[in-house]
């Protein structure tokens, strides 16, 4: 007790000795510690806020003035996962100008006592869980310029007194639960406002205050997704500085005021979409000469869009979809130099797409479905190489598709269904990113181009209801199709097995000439006639004579399906089990469904199945087969199964039919190294990571040199390395090329996104797979272990190949240090550098410079000896 009192006493003494500066700095520190003491900090972000350290200006989030003594001017603790109580003790910091606690988990009403922070200039409490009402007292913060309470759960009306904060420049109350009316007088004093955001308050049922139109400095006005109703005030014309106007998703009605946009020369974006606005096109908006985005979609506008729209030559995004616009679509819009997006679907526009010869275009996306467009697709459209979506379904477009229609290398969605196109479908070769192609319900003739099979990511193809003839190209089995609707054409010949087993039969209906197992027409004679030019006639004859047979067959097939409830009948399956699993192949087949899929790859899906004894097995379903004979498949899998090593997943058995092989593996619970990397769950101790690397290397060395016949893995990547509970790695998916056949294997590999950087650079120019390619892939995995970074970021477009990233870093001073995963303790640096050196050798551009796997194992062993006493490692 006594000591507790002596300190203040001494301080008081010092104070009286007029060393005021010292006192004020001591107490600033105490105030901060008091603030910290009421906060919960699960990540220990405020670890350095320690009573021992006197340099509180260096603490996380603190900024001090450069005066002497320094004084706290700013407290910025955003996004640190803090919770607990916001203590008003900080309001005693005399010079606190900026307080930012945004993006934390503070769950409390807005602290009333914050109103004592009289010197605050900016206050940011956005993205917390603040609730209750906005207190009147907030207006005591008379110096406030920026107030951000957005994305909380604040309720009630805006207090009228908000209008007293007359220095306010930013007012953001968006994303809360405010309700009632916005009282117009609030804005009379806020003449300095630059940003006003009242968006996303669904219970804010209010008219738009006329006064907002008098805020002459306003640049950003966001009022979307609330419940504003009534007309847009005429006064909004006065917002000359406005750059962004978003009134979308409200209940506004009436017209758009004449003159809106007239003086708004800086306007960048107008969004009036999803209201009930009506009337004709607000042509004055175009006078905002810097307009970049115009969204009027989902309203009730009618009439036409004037050609004068093309005067807004900075316009990039034009969105008027879901209205009742009619008349000629302004042709000038297509040739505007900056236009990137045109969305006009679901209107009644008419007119043609003009030929834009010699116009450089940035156009990326066009959606004009469900209008009354006519005429042809001009050749010039194919030269727009930024185009990634073109959809014009449900119009009256006609003529042939130009040869170059799909030349844009980024094109991914095409929908021209329900038009009157005719002629052949051109060869699509250059749009290698095409995902979805719909040409349904036109009058296309000729064959299905086999070049479609070259478009590796093509997944949805709808060619139904045309006049296509010929066979379904067998090459299409290279694609991973989710939709392939060719119903109601004149196709003939045998259907590739993969399409029959993988896709619903309804996709093929309405083509009496098609045949294959499971189809009404069973193909017994037809394949021989494939070369016959006159096959149509023959098919007609055959079809006639077989009609009766077909009916019977259909009935039988229906019956079979109902019994087996499966696309295949299990009698076609041949099981080979090594040892007893206590489960039959029928039970395995029945257990395969979408719910137990744990992985999807280019070769097929992986399911996990529980055995009667409670154990689990992983079942890998390989598709796209039919190239290798069943007998050979069986022998090859037996070869794979005989490879037994502690770092390979054990193959327990397999079943196969004509088109599918099921590989039954032991199930490794912890998931793959790839998962661990992606979730940042790699072990933090280098010892464990090295153990993983060594295990993988040993497994590979076994395949390459010890096992006879020598095997290549060919698909080493972190997703194919499974980890058991003790972080012991097991390789999976090895040698699948032997099962699928080389061509299918290559096609599958090529279609696999996100694993290009595991593939050795020489792969593209050499046909033959080599051990060195495996070594390269291993080097990439080793780099992942060293850096803690996935080799490729799966969802970022400009993903950085880890090999390139590391090489670039290493060339900088201090680079090698930056490469090491900072989460691993510094004490392992030496060993990690050793591993880095090895990884760089493995990933040499020149294959002959790469070490063999046996040498890799030796090197890793040495690195391990450095870490562990030899005694322990020799137990391994
Ligand atoms: C602060 O001092 C205490 C003892 O006075 C000590 O236990 C603690 O480790 C010190 N903390 C820091 C961060 O130095
Ligand atoms: C604290 O900041 C001062 C400058 O304000 C600096 O000289 C000093 O090195 C810093 N101390 C620590 C421990 O970071
Ligand atoms: C807090 O820690 C968790 C795991 O401990 C981590 O995922 C998260 O990124 C950390 N958050 C911050 C803000 O540092
Ligand atoms: C935030 O902290 C909680 C504990 O309060 C923790 O469970 C959670 O993982 C943390 N989340 C992040 C994103 O840091
Ligand atoms: C408040 O903080 C959030 C999160 O960091 C930030 O996005 C926002 O821009 C800040 N508000 C203001 C007005 O600066
Ligand atoms: C505007 O500011 C003045 C002076 O600060 C104040 O008297 C008046 O009440 C304010 N008006 C509104 C509507 O808040
Ligand atoms: C829109 O406003 C009208 C009155 O103008 C009202 O009758 C209607 O309920 C409102 N609709 C919604 C969704 O708020
Ligand atoms: C489509 O345009 C044609 C003339 O080009 C016209 O005769 C027809 O009425 C229009 N259809 C609709 C639904 O507007
Ligand atoms: C293509 O357009 C039609 C008609 O608008 C639509 O029904 C269909 O879903 C679209 N297809 C794709 C793949 O978007
Ligand atoms: C395939 O196309 C036909 C004709 O356009 C259509 O009736 C059928 O619903 C489509 N099937 C599927 C599964 O989309």
Among protein residues, the one with the nearest Cα to ligand 2's atom 3 is 58
Within this chain, do residues 305 and 425 fall inside the same structural domain, yes or no? no
pLDDT, averaged across the chain = 84
What confidence tens digit (pLDDT) does each residue in 486-520 have? 999 999 998 887 777 767 778 899 999 998 877 77
Does 170 fall in a domain? no
The total of structural domains in the chain comes to 4
Within this chain, do residues 800 and 731 fall inside the same structural domain, yes or no? yes
Does 493 fall in a domain? yes
Q: Are 321 and 298 in contact (CB under 8 A)?
A: yes
140, 141, 160, 166: which to mutate for ligand 6, most atoms within 8 A of CB? 166
Does 80 fall in a domain? no
CA–centroid distance, 26 to ligand 2, in Å, is 17
> What's the whole-model pTM score?
0.58
CA atoms within 13 A on the CB side of 871: 0
Does 79 fall in a domain? no
Q: Is the CB of 104 under 6 A from ligand 5?
A: no
Does 538 fall in a domain? no
Within this chain, do residues 835 and 692 fall inside the same structural domain, yes or no? yes
Within this chain, do residues 251 and 391 fall inside the same structural domain, yes or no? no
Q: Which of 644, 667, 690 is the C-terminal boundary of a domain?
A: 667
Q: How far apart, in whole angstroms, are the C-alpha atoms of residue 94 and residue 99?
A: 13
The interaxial angle of helices 829-842 and 686-701, nearest 10 deg, is 30
Record the tokens describing residue 813, joined without a space.
């001073």
Residue 555, pLDDT score: 43
Q: Which of 329, 351, 373 is the C-terminal boundary of a domain?
A: 351
CA–centroid distance, 589 to ligand 8, in Å, is 55
What confidence tens digit (pLDDT) does each residue in 448-467 have? 999 999 998 888 999 999 99
Longest CA–CA span in the chain (Å) reads 117
Q: How far apart, in whole angstroms, are the C-alpha atoms of residue 620 and residue 602?
A: 12
Among protein residues, the one with the nearest Cα to ligand 6's atom 10 is 164
Within this chain, do residues 485 and 578 fall inside the same structural domain, yes or no? no
Ligand number nearest CA of 60 is: 2
Place 640 in a pLDDT band, splitting at 50, 70 and 90.
confident
Place 419 in a pLDDT band, splitting at 50, 70 and 90.
very high
Please confirm whether the linkage preceding 520 is cis (ω < 30° from 0): no
Q: Which residue has the tokens 């090489």?
A: 807
Nearest ligand 5 atom to the CA of 195 is 13
Q: Is the CB of 207 under 6 A from ligand 7?
A: no
Q: Is the CB of 81 under 6 A from ligand 3?
A: yes
Share of the chain above pLDDT 90, in %: 48
What confidence tens digit (pLDDT) does each residue in 106-129 have? 988 898 889 999 999 999 999 999
Q: What is the CATH number of the domain that holds 647?
A: 3.30.200.20
CA atoms within 13 A on the CB side of 246: 16
Q: What is the CATH number of the domain that holds 341?
A: 3.80.10.10
Q: Are 853 and 771 in contact (CB under 8 A)?
A: yes
Q: How is 764-822 classified by DSSP, letter by letter?
A: GT--S--HHHHHHHHHHHHHHHHH---SS-TT-TTPPPHHHHHHHHHTSTTHHHHHS-T
Which of 4-8, 76-80, 261-265, 834-838 shows the lowest mean pLDDT across its residues? 4-8
Query: Which residues form ligand 2's pocket by a CB distance below 6 Å?
Result: 55, 57-58
Within this chain, do residues 638 and 696 fall inside the same structural domain, yes or no? no
CA–centroid distance, 182 to ligand 7, in Å, is 17
Within this chain, do residues 297 and 429 fall inside the same structural domain, yes or no? no
Within this chain, do residues 318 and 373 fall inside the same structural domain, yes or no? no
Between the two ends of the chain, the Cα-to-Cα distance in Å is 60
Q: Are 826 and 685 in contact (CB under 8 A)?
A: no
Share of the chain above pLDDT 70, in %: 86
Query: Which residues form ligand 4's pocket by a CB distance below 6 Å?
Result: 42-43, 81
Query: Which residues form ligand 6's pocket by a CB distance below 6 Å?
Result: 163-164, 166, 185, 188-189
Within this chain, do residues 508 and 417 fall inside the same structural domain, yes or no? yes
Q: Which of 351, 366, 381 is the C-terminal boundary of a domain?
A: 351
Q: Which structural domain range is residue 866 located in?
A: 671-876
- As a whole number, mean pLDDT of residues 717-744 equals 87
Q: How far apart, in whole angstroms, are the C-alpha atoms of residue 676 and residue 722?
A: 10
- As a whole number, mean pLDDT of residues 689-708 equals 93
Among protein residues, the one with the nearest Cα to ligand 1's atom 12 is 52
324, 372, 374: which to mutate for ligand 8, most atoms within 8 A of CB? 372
What confidence tens digit (pLDDT) does each residue in 237-272 have? 889 999 999 999 999 988 888 888 888 888 888 899
Does 44 fall in a domain? no
- As a whole number, mean pLDDT of residues 596-614 equals 81
Nearest ligand 3 atom to the CA of 43 is 1
Within this chain, do residues 711 and 655 fall inside the same structural domain, yes or no? no
44, 51, 52, 55: which to mutate for ligand 1, most atoms within 8 A of CB? 52
Q: Is the pLDDT of residue 545 over 60?
A: no
Nearest ligand 1 atom to the CA of 51 is 1
Q: What is the CATH number of the domain that holds 771?
A: 1.10.510.10
Q: Are 444 and 420 in contact (CB under 8 A)?
A: no
Place 623 in a pLDDT band, splitting at 50, 70 and 90.
low
Q: Are 508 and 483 in contact (CB under 8 A)?
A: no
Q: Is the CB of 46 under 6 A from ligand 3?
A: no
Record the tokens describing residue 101, joined without a space.
């606690």
Nearest ligand 6 atom to the CA of 160 is 14
Does 646 fall in a domain? yes
Among protein residues, the one with the nearest Cα to ligand 5's atom 3 is 102
Q: Are 497 and 658 in contact (CB under 8 A)?
A: yes
3-state secondary structure of 59: coil
43, 80, 680: which to mutate for ligand 4, most atoms within 8 A of CB? 43
Record the tokens describing residue 225, joined without a space.
């997704």
Residue 556, pLDDT score: 45
Q: Is the pLDDT of residue 22 over 50?
A: no
Distances in Å between the Cα of 515 and the Cα atoms of 293, 486, 527, 780 are 52, 14, 9, 47
Q: Is the CB of 464 under 6 A from ligand 10?
A: yes
Ligand number nearest CA of 345 is: 9
Task: Assign residue 358 a region (left: φ > 0; alpha: ψ between -120 and 50; beta: otherwise).
Answer: left
Within this chain, do residues 265 and 370 fall inside the same structural domain, yes or no? no
- As a whole number, mean pLDDT of residues 137-155 equals 94
Within this chain, do residues 586 and 607 fall inside the same structural domain, yes or no? yes
Q: How far apart, in whole angstroms, are the C-alpha atoms of residue 25 and residue 14?
A: 13
The interaxial angle of helices 802-810 and 771-787, nearest 10 deg, is 70
What confidence tens digit (pLDDT) does each residue in 552-593 have? 444 444 444 443 444 444 446 677 777 777 777 777 777 777
Q: Is the pLDDT of residue 707 over 60?
A: yes
What confidence tens digit (pLDDT) does each residue in 300-315 have? 888 899 888 888 888 8
Does 411 fall in a domain? yes
Query: Which residues form ligand 8's pocket by a CB distance below 6 Å?
Result: 348, 350, 372, 374
More confident site: 271 or 527: 271
Residue 801, pLDDT score: 75
- As a whole number, mean pLDDT of residues 775-801 equals 79
Residue 414, pLDDT score: 96
Q: Is the pLDDT of residue 875 over 70?
A: no
């Amino acid at each position: 007790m006594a000591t507790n009192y002596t300190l203040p006493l001494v301080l008081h003494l010092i104070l009286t000795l007029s060393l005021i500066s010292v006192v004020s700095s001591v107490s600033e520190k105490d105030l901060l510690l008091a603030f910290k003491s009421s906060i919960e900090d699960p990540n220990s972000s405020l670890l350095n806020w320690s009573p021992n350290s006197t340099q509180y200006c260096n603490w996380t989030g603190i900024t001090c003035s450069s005066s002497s003594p320094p004084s706290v001017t700013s407290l910025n603790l955003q996004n640190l996962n803090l919770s607990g109580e916001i203590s008003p003790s900080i309001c005693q910091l005399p010079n606190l100008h900026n307080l930012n606690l945004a993006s934390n988990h503070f769950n409390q009403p807005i602290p009333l006592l914050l109103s004592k922070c009289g010197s605050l200039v900016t206050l940011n409490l956005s993205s917390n869980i603040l609730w209750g009402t906005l207190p009147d007292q907030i207006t005591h913060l008379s110096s406030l310029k920026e107030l951000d309470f957005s994305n909380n759960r604040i309720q009630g009306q805006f207090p009228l007194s908000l209008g007293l904060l007359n220095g306010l420049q930013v007012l953001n109350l968006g994303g809360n639960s405010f309700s009632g009316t916005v009282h117009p007088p609030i804005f009379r004093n806020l003449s300095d406002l630059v940003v006003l955001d009242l968006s996303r308050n669904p219970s804010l049922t209010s008219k738009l205050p006329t006064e907002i139109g008098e805020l002459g400095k306003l640049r950003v006005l966001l009022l979307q997704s609330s419940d504003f109703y009534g007309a847009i005030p005429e006064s909004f014309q006065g917002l000359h500085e406005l750059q962004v106007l978003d009134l979308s998703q409200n209940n506004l009605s009436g017209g758009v005021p004449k003159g809106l946009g007239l003086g708004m020369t800086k306007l960048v974006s107008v969004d009036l979409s999803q209201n009930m606005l009506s009337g004709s096109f607000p042509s004055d908006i175009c006078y905002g000469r810097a307009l970049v985005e115009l969204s009027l979609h989902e309203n009730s506008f009618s009439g036409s869009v004037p050609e004068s729209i093309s005067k807004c030559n900075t316009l990039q995004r034009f969105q008027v979809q879901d209205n009742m616009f009619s008349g000629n679509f302004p042709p000038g819009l297509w040739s505007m130099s900056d236009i990137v997006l045109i969305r006009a679907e679901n209107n009644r526009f008419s007119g043609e797409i003009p030929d834009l010869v010699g116009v450089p275009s940035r156009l990326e996306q066009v959606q004009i479905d469900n209008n009354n467009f006519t005429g042809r697709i001009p050749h010039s459209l194919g030269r727009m190489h930024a185009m990634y979506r073109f959809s014009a379904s449900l119009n009256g477009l006609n003529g042939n598709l130009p040869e170059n229609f799909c030349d844009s290398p980024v094109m991914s969605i095409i929908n021209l269904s329900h038009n009157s196109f005719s002629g052949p479908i051109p060869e699509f070769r250059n749009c290698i990113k095409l995902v979805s192609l719909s040409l349904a319900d036109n009058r296309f003739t000729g064959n299905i181009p086999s070049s479609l099979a070259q478009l590796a990511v093509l997944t949805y193809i709808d060619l139904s209801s045309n006049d296509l003839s010929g066979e379904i190209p067998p090459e299409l089995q290279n694609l991973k199709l989710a939709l392939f609707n060719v119903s109601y054409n004149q196709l003939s010949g045998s259907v590739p097995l993969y399409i029959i087993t993988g896709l619903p039969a309804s996709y093929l209906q309405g083509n009496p000439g098609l045949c294959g197992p499971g189809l009404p027409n069973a193909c017994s004679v037809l394949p021989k006639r494939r070369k016959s030019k006159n096959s149509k006639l023959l098919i007609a004859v055959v079809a006639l004579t077989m009609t009766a047979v077909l009916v019977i067959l259909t009935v039988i097939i229906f019956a079979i399906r109902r019994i087996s409830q499966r696309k295949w009948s299990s009698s076609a399956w041949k099981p080979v089990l090594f040892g007893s699993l206590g489960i039959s192949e029928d039970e395995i087949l029945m257990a395969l469904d979408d719910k137990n899929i744990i992985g999807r790859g280019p070769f097929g899906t992986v399911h996990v199945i529980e055995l009667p004894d409670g154990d689990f097995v992983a079942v890998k379903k390989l598709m796209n087969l039919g190239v290798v004979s069943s007998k050979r498949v069986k022998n090859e899998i037996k070869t794979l199964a005989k490879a037994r090593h502690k770092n390979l997943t054990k193959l327990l058995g397999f079943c196969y039919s004509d088109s599918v092989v099921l590989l039954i593996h032991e199930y490794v619970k912890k998931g793959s190294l790839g998962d661990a990397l992606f979730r940042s769950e790699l072990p933090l101790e280098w010892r464990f990571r090295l153990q993983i690397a060594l295990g993988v290397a040993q497994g590979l060395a076994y395949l390459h040199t010890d096992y006879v016949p020598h095997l290549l893995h060919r698909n080493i990547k972190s997703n194919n390395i499974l980890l058991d509970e003790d972080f012991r790695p097991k390789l999976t998916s090895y040698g699948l090329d032997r099962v699928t056949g080389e061509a299918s294997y290559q096609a599958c590999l090529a279609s696999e996104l996100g694993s290009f950087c595991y593939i050795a650079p020489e792969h593209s120019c050499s046909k033959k797979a080599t051990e060195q390619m495996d070594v390269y892939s291993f080097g990439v995995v080793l780099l992942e272990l060293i850096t803690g970074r996935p080799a490729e970021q799966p969802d970022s477009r400009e993903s950085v190949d880890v090999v390139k990233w590391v090489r670039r870093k290493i060339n900088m001073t201090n680079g090698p240090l930056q490469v090491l995963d900072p989460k691993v303790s510094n004490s392992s640096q030496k060993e990690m550098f050793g591993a880095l050196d090895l990884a760089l050798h493995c990933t040499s551009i020149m294959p002959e410079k790469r070490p063999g796997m046996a040498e890799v194992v030796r090197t890793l062993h040495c690195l391990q000896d450095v870490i562990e006493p030899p005694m322990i490692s020799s137990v391994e």
